[in-house]
Amino acid sequence: MNYQNPSEHIKALRKAGNFQAAIERGKAYINDFYVLIQINWAYYGLIKQQVAEIIAKLEQTPPNYAKIKQIYDTAREYAKLPNRRADSSLSNILRELTKLSAYSPDYLNFIYWVVRIDGIQDDDWQAGEYQGKQFSPLVCSIARGLAKWVSHFSQQATSADVEHIIGWLENTRSVAVGDDVLWLDWDRVKLLKQLGKHQEAAQTLGYLLKNKNKEFWLWQKAGQLYASEQPDLAKACFCQALQCCQKPEFSVNVHIDLAQLLIEQNETAWANGEVLQTRNIREQHGWKIDDALQKLLDADWYSPENALSNEELIKQYQQYAPEALVLCFDDVQEYDANFDTVFTLPLPADAPKNKNPKKLAKFIFRPNEKRKAISIVGTETKEVAYFQSGTPVCLLIGKAANGRQTILHISSRENGQLWDCADKRNGVVENLKNNKIGIFFNRNSYVSASMGAWQGDLPNIGDNVLAYTAYNQKKETQEILLAQAQIDVFLKNEDIKIISGCLKRHEKGFAFVEDVFVASYLLQNFDDESELQVEIIAIYSKNPKKSEFSWRAIKIKTK
């Protein structure tokens, strides 16, 4: 067929699927506007064809990166065409390239080029419709494609790249349709954590879980997010996901995630049960055993005869799932804090023999500058293994409507000092008994410290003390974190004073110095002189027999 108009010839080649021939034929007429339009669409047809070939093979074989490079070589040729601007051919090419964003090292650079030429059309922000169903605009697909790209090519991405992608996720959220809003928010959570913006990430996640707390996949994703730094919280999230999942066939990967986590926690019987569940679901639906499951089936620890039964698994889910609901918080704040210690919760008497006791990490923080220091506990994490008591840290704390607080993230605080968030208090040693050091601070505050909290040589009664303290919310008591003697310093305290004077004995064995009561046990090393010049350390405290305050001596010496 003879074509007098070259654009008609090129169009015919393109319609026949001869995209490369259409491109080569059109190069001679590149300055013809109508020919250029046909070349644009020929490039789209060629890229669509190349993408389809790769996608068709993805289920059977790994992505062919050489072929993907060819696609981007084609895209670069397209980008060099004259008068390159936003149009429908570019929008369609973007749609095709986005399908392979997770496998395409050059995807982000292509998007940067599109942004530079202002290549996004107004129509790309409009939702589409097919057979009565609405679909999110192209820009939402690009935003999610960029999130997939950074997930697979994280080592290639700079902080500026991640910030750029977060911008896409934020800016396209308002035009997303249906569950795409959730996915955009979820992608944003992951990238915010990658940038170390844990507070913003936690706030977004809390909003998601609070408003969509029946979405099993969202709980699964939360479990994956916290698996490394908060394994107990991750376990609760996976259990919540399994509680929410209505169809067992959808839960296959949740069982796998949970099994992998349980093995790290030495919960072998439970992990065996999860693997067995996964295998049974796949066999019931005639699905092949995938690599992740096969790896678990081949593991040395796998023993189906030692697996928890279905009934036992359900009880485990019911027990742990409620703990995940702490993530549905209303507020997230970051606080300076100090690490205190790790302690182990005792197991109940009826606990299974193979159950591991739970370890908790304890921290000290101030809710605000004016309030006293308080303690908070969270699941032990890998980060605290190398902390010494008093180490300055940063805590990200989520607060639920019922007042419950949850530690979401722990990080070192380089500019802090040991115990800089604890209350510093001055007092005197009042007594030493039952392996405890009793410290008097004032008429309303007396606290016993363990011997382990004392720094340095053990004190004597009457020694001045500098103590680091915090309020234990659960026990509703003050506790001493660290205490040390203050040598050659006397405290200025209206309830503690040194008095010099004449010791006046009473016939019943006790004595007075001025109006200060001196108990008989303090006089055992003194002779029976009726009057003796002494120096006493006295405290103003409540008399347990009379329930009234008075001065009494805790230490006495001759002058």
Q: Is the pLDDT assigned to residue 4 strictly greater than 80?
A: no
**What is residue 123's predicted lDDT score, i.e. its pLDDT?**
96
Which residues lie below 8 Å from residue 381, measured CB to CB, with a gap of 6+?
Answer: 229, 230, 231, 361, 410
Query: For the residues of 413-439, what is the DSSP string, one character each?
Result: -TT--TTTTSEEEEEEEEEEETTEEEE
Instruction: Give the separation between CA 470 and CA 342, rounded to whole angstroms.
Output: 16
Range in 100-114, 262-276, 384-398 with the lowest mean pLDDT: 384-398
Q: Using one digit for the tens of pLDDT, what is the confidence trace for 165-180? A: 999 999 999 999 988 9
Residue whose tokens read 């289920």 = 59
Q: Using one digit for the tens of pLDDT, what is the confidence trace for 26-55? A: 999 999 999 999 999 999 999 999 999 999
Neighbour-count burial for 514-538, b at 16+ CB within 10 Å, e otherwise: eebbbeeebbeebeeeeebebebbb
Average confidence (pLDDT) over 226-253: 92
Confidence of residue 3 (pLDDT cuts 50, 70, 90): low
Confidence of residue 436 (pLDDT cuts 50, 70, 90): very high
Helix (H) or strand (E) holding 55: helix 33-58
Average confidence (pLDDT) over 238-267: 94
| Alpha-helix residue ranges (DSSP H) falling in 85-230 | 88-99, 107-116, 138-152, 159-172, 180-194, 198-211, 216-226
**What is residue 308's predicted lDDT score, i.e. its pLDDT?**
95
Per this entry, what is the length of the chain?
A: 559
Instruction: Give the separation between CA 396 and CA 222, rounded to whole angstroms.
Output: 16
Q: Using one digit for the tens of pLDDT, what is the confidence trace for 63-83? A: 999 999 999 999 999 999 998
Average confidence (pLDDT) over 311-316: 94
Instruction: Give the separation between CA 182 and CA 479, rounded to whole angstroms.
Output: 44
**What is residue 484's predicted lDDT score, i.e. its pLDDT?**
92
**Residue of higher predicted confidence among 131 and 236:** 236
Average confidence (pLDDT) over 248-260: 95
**What is residue 326's predicted lDDT score, i.e. its pLDDT?**
82
**Residue of higher predicted confidence among 388 and 368:** 388
Mean pLDDT of the chain: 91
Residue 336 in tokens = 């300076």
**What is residue 129's predicted lDDT score, i.e. its pLDDT?**
85
Average confidence (pLDDT) over 10-14: 94
Instruction: Give the separation between CA 191 and CA 193, rounded to whole angstroms.
Output: 5
HSE at residue 296, side-chain half, CA atoms within 13 A, is 26
**What is residue 546's predicted lDDT score, i.e. its pLDDT?**
80
Please report the domains of the chain, with CATH numbers, ordered by start residue.
Answer: 328-412 (2.40.50), 423-485 (2.40.50.140), 496-558 (2.40.50)
**What is residue 438's predicted lDDT score, i.e. its pLDDT?**
94
Instruction: Give the separation between CA 424 and CA 455, rounded to whole angstroms.
Output: 15
| Alpha-helix residue ranges (DSSP H) falling in 212-343 | 216-226, 231-244, 252-264, 268-284, 291-297, 310-320
Question: What are the angstrom distances between the C-alpha of 461 and each of 49, 429, 440, 525?
Answer: 88, 5, 11, 15
**pTM of this structure:** 0.74
Q: Which of 462, 461, 439 is nearest to 450 (CA)?
A: 439
